[in-house]
Chains A and B, each alone.
Chain A
Amino acid sequence: MMKAIFSLLILFIVTISCNPVGEIVTEETPLDPQLVNTVENLDLKKGDVLVIWGKMDASFLKNDNVPIFHLSYNLSLDDKTIENKTVGMFADNSRIINSTHEIRKEEKEENNADILEDTSTNEESSTEKPEKIAESDWTFEQEVIQIPIEKDGKYTLDYKANSSDQAADSMFTKVSVIIRKK
Chain B
Amino acid sequence: MRGAASLFPAILVLLLTALSQAQGTQSTTAPFSLISREGRRIIPTTVANGRELVALDDVASIFQISSREDTLAGGLTVTYRGRTIVVSTNQPLASVNGRAVSLSTPATRIGTRWSVPIDFFSGALSLVYDGRIELRRASRLLIVGDLRVPRVMARIDSAGPPTRATIEITPATRNSVVMEPGRLVIRLEADALEATIPRDGAGLIEQFRIGEQPTTVTIALADRAGPARAVPVEIDGITRFQIDVAPQLPTAETAAPTPAPVEALPPPVEVRSVLGTIVIDPGHGGEDIGVRSGNGSEEKALTLAVAQRVKALIESRLGIRVILTRDEDRGVGLDQRAATANNSKAGLFLSLHLNASPVATSAGAVVVHSRIDRGGGDRGIPEDDAVVLPVFGGTTRAVDLIRWDLAQARHADTSAAFAEILEEHLRTRVKMGARPRRELPLRVLTSVNMPAVLVEMAYLSNSDQARLAQSEAYQVNVAQSILDAVLQFRTYLEAREGR
Chain A bound to chain B: no
Chain B residues close to A by CB (< 8 Å):
none
